[in-house]
Structure 1
């Protein structure tokens, strides 16, 4: 069932009926054999949780095929966050949300639950798992050599968003969004668009909310709890920008803002903490660009 935040956003967007038909996707449940098999082939995921500093963060997790192993109520992640990553030494008992993604086939799956073990990696007690459509996922091929040696590099806490960080934001066509709900826990989602769809103005970020599945899991969480986190990867260099702060949904008249603001919804994010890092496994091959990019971004692929 949808929670009160999701229902509120659905009501304001006028899509309660359309969303109700998808409510079964959020029923409590674990990982089927098919879902577990798909996860076992993945090499990239992002995880949302509250670090020891109490802030919400979303961080990258990478490894060779098999580093994600899930069936039923248990997901095991044979990877850990490096020292300096805001989620390093994440304690058991925290609610977490994970999204695994395959940029080549444009498929993604979200797995939410509670971290119950940290020995030799991460073990999650799964409460819900569901897939999302391929819309807005840019096809790209991550370099296999980077996956094999994908140990994260150094991480640096910044006092504020730097000029280099702003350049990363303006050049991004992909980022991961972390949100949370007081009862349902944490969630990690993917956001994609044309390069530059993620804006930064005077230290604040905003992006248009493109048409989607009408469930509004992330926006619904923000309606209940403004805590938010962003992970912005640079697939050319492998550098990452992690931001923790608060976000809110802003409603406008459709078609009155920027050309890509077609829904009348935008999200404004105010960063309170910034971490820069390096992740070799997030470097994409030079032939990553795909001729179907325009179709993907307009939802007609």
Structure 2
């Protein structure tokens, strides 16, 4: 170790080395980033200012929109800078910071999604006690707990990286710093880091997923017991958009962090990372706008006056 150069920065190869493709990628992801900011900001605006949307479901939705803005902001601006810049590097400290915030917002998101599933469970399975179960104070505690869990998850995964040494390869075939990619470049033993990652994936990833799954088992069971077809359709429409969002996020994150880290699958890693960290934050407000009539009507009333 003493005779080897200590690496203090990484080279991010990005998505492609072709200059023409880089121009296309720059404008494509710039548009996606702007749509993400505008779409989620619009969701936050209407859910906090429209009187008819002042209920727990839309309270959680506004926080989900804020998380999506944070998620996209952690990776996309840096990626755009690397695409057009000559220096395609990121410092070791910057890389660890990016990993920290990726874990922070992704963990907060899964717990907020679990809280939204519990909210739908209370609304559909126990409607008579819904207002008692989902009080404002309880909703605030759930959101605060989601951010606290995110902070704890990011802390236990990012802090151990400070003890690693990087001395051989500093080339990362990705557009952002992700924990599996960084661990693969370490010169020191990383078994502890992988164990911590596995434990946090089970505690902070699987447990909210299990809560979401249990909630929807009860929700679907209750919906199927409704005699009227119209009643079943209305009940299912209130949670269909949430189910789509949960599916998009969990499937992509599961593929990225559970599958083996292999050079032969590097393009799959990039596609999956783009899907859950860039595409999904953009799609979430679109999905809720198309699938939820209340959101659609609130957006039309709020922004329709500007289009006249």
Same fold? TM cut 0.5: no
Q: Which has the higher contact order (CA 8 A, sep 6+)?
A: 2
> Given the two structures, how large is their TM-score scaled by the length of structure 1?
0.25
> Given the two structures, how large is their TM-score scaled by the length of structure 2?
0.25
* Bigger proportion of residues as strand: 1
